[in-house]
C-alpha cells in the first residue's frame, strides 16, 4: 500500500479511495483502493490507474456534480449512463440499472403536448444524421406519471466516429418556466373577472375555426341591458356579480362544444360550433335570453335585467372574416335592443323585513 491507511474509515466513506503514491524511482503512481469488511477483518483490492482511467474518473466526478441532467445513449438506442441530476429531474429512484431500463420506456412529447413517435424523436434524428439538436423543448412523462418539460440538447459524443459513437443528451428542468409562460399566455387570452376568452382570443378563435373548416354555424352577440344603471345605483361590486353570474349562466345553457367569451364590459359572444338548423339557433337564443333574465339575488335585493341578442348565421360559402361576422352580429344585437329595450329592475326588502320581498319590482333609473 505504501502508506498506513484507516480501513474502517474508508469503508464508512464508501469503500473506495484514490491516492497518488511515489515509487522508489521517484515516479508517481495513481492507485485506486477498494475496501470491504470480510469476517473479522477487511478485503483490500489495490490497482494502478492509467492516465486515461484517471481522466475518466475525474470526468465522472464533474458530470455527477452538474446541476444539468446528462444521459449517454448507445448505438442500440439504450441508455447506459445517467448522472444524479438527470435521475432527479426525471423522477427516477436512483437504483442504477433499473433507472436506465425505466428511462428507455419514458414517453416523449413535442412542444404542443403531442406524443413523439420513435422516428420523430431527436435522439433518432441525431443518430441518423450525425447533426446535433440544441436547445429543444420536449415533454416527458416522469416515472410517477407527472409531466416534465426539458430544455434538451442531443449530440454525438464522438462526432468524428458517427457509426460507433454514443449520444450525449443534456437537459435542464424547464417545467416551472413553461408553467409560468402558460399562465401568462392564459391570462393574456382570458378575461380576469369571468375567466372567459377575451375579445382578442375570440377573434383569433373565429379565424381558426374558419381556416380549419370547423363548422361554425352562428355567432351570437349579447348585451346586458342597463348594467351601467346597476353600477351607478348599487355600485360596481354588484355590477361585477351580475357579470360573473351572467357568464356562468351562459356556460350552463350552451353545449360543451360551443364557446362563450366576454367581448367587452357588458357584452358577451357565443360561438355555436357544429351542425345547427335555423330553428335550433332560434331556440338557443330563446334559452340564453331566459337564462340571463332570471331574477338574481344580490345582497338582499332581487335584480332583473334584460338581454339584447343578435344572431348571425354562417352558411356554406360564407366569405366574411372574423371582424365582419362580429360586426354583423353586433348590428343584429342593436336591432334587437331597439325592438324592445328592457330596464333593469330591483326588488328591495322592506325596511323592517329582514328577508327580501318579492313584491312589485321598481325600475332602477
Give the DSSP letter of residue 176. H
Q: Are 135 and 151 in contact (CB under 8 A)?
A: yes
Which residues pair with residue 169 across a beta bridge?
71, 154
Give the DSSP letter of residue 343. P
Asked about 266 being catalytic, the answer comes back as yes
Report how far residue 207's alpha carbon sits from residue 213's, in angstroms, rounded to the nearest whole number. Answer: 10
| 145: region left, alpha or beta (phi > 0 left; psi from -120 to 50 alpha) | left
Q: Where are the alpha helices (DSSP H) in the chain?
A: 7-12, 51-65, 84-90, 97-105, 122-129, 175-189, 199-212, 227-234, 236-253, 278-292, 322-339
Out of 266, 318, 328, 362, pick the active-site residue: 266
Instruction: Tell how far CA 236 is from the center of its chain.
Output: 33
Report how far residue 165's alpha carbon sits from residue 266's, in angstroms, rounded to the nearest whole number. Answer: 64
Q: Are 342 and 225 in contact (CB under 8 A)?
A: yes
Size of the chain, expressed as the number of residues it contains: 365
3-state secondary structure of 90: helix
Catalytic residues: 266
Amino acid at each position: 500500500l505504501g502508506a498506513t491507511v484507516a480501513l474502517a474509515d474508508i469503508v464508512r466513506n464508501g469503500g473506495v479511495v484514490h491516492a497518488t503514491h511515489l515509487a522508489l524511482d521517484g515516479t508517481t503512481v495513481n492507485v485506486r483502493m477498494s475496501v470491504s469488511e470480510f469476517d473479522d477483518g477487511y478485503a483490500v483490492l489495490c490497482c494502478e490507474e492509467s492516465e486515461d482511467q484517471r481522466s475518466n474518473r475525474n470526468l465522472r466526478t464533474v458530470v455527477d456534480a452538474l446541476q444539468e441532467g446528462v444521459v449517454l445513449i448507445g448505438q442500440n438506442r439504450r441508455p447506459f449512463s445517467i448522472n444524479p441530476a438527470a435521475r432527479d429531474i426525471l423522477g427516477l429512484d436512483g437504483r442504477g440499472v433499473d433507472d436506465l431500463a425505466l428511462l428507455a420506456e419514458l414517453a416523449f412529447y413535442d412542444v404542443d403536448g403531442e406524443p413523439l413517435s420513435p422516428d420523430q424523436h431527436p435522439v433518432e434524428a441525431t443518430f441518423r444524421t450525425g447533426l446535433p439538436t440544441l436547445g429543444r423543448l420536449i415533454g416527458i412523462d416522469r416515472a410517477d406519471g407527472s409531466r416534465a418539460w426539458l430544455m434538451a440538447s442531443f449530440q454525438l459524443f464522438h462526432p468524428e466516429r458517427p457509426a460507433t459513437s454514443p449520444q450525449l443528451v443534456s437537459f435542464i428542468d424547464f417545467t416551472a418556466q413553461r408553467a409560468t409562460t402558460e399562465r401568462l399566455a392564459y391570462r393574456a387570452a382570458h378575461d380576469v373577472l369571468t375567466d372567459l376568452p377575451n375579445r382578442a382570443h375570440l377573434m383569433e378563435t373565429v379565424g381558426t375555426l374558419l381556416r380549419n373548416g370547423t363548422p361554425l354555424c352562428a355567432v351570437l352577440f349579447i348585451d346586458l341591458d342597463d348594467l351601467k344603471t346597476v353600477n351607478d345605483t348599487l355600485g360596481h361590486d354588484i355590477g361585477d356579480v351580475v357579470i360573473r353570474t351572467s357568464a356562468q349562466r351562459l356556460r350552463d345553457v350552451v353545449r360543451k362544444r360551443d364557446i362563450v367569451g366576454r367581448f367587452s364590459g357588458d357584452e358577451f359572444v357565443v360561438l355555436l360550433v357544429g351542425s345547427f338548423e335555423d330553428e335550433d339557433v332560434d331556440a338557443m337564443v330563446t334559452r340564453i335570453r331566459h337564462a340571463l333574465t332570471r331574477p338574481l339575488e344580490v345582497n338582499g335585493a332581487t335584480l332583473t335585467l334584460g338581454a339584447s341578442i343578435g344572431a348571425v348565421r354562417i352558411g356554406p360559402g360564407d366569405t366574411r372574416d372574423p371582424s365582419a361576422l362580429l360586426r354583423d352580429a353586433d348590428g343584429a344585437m342593436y336591432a334587437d335592443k331597439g325592438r324592445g329595450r328592457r330596464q333593469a329592475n330591483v326588488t328591495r326588502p322592506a325596511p323592517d323585513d329582514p328577508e327580501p320581498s318579492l313584491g312589485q319590482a321598481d325600475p332602477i333609473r
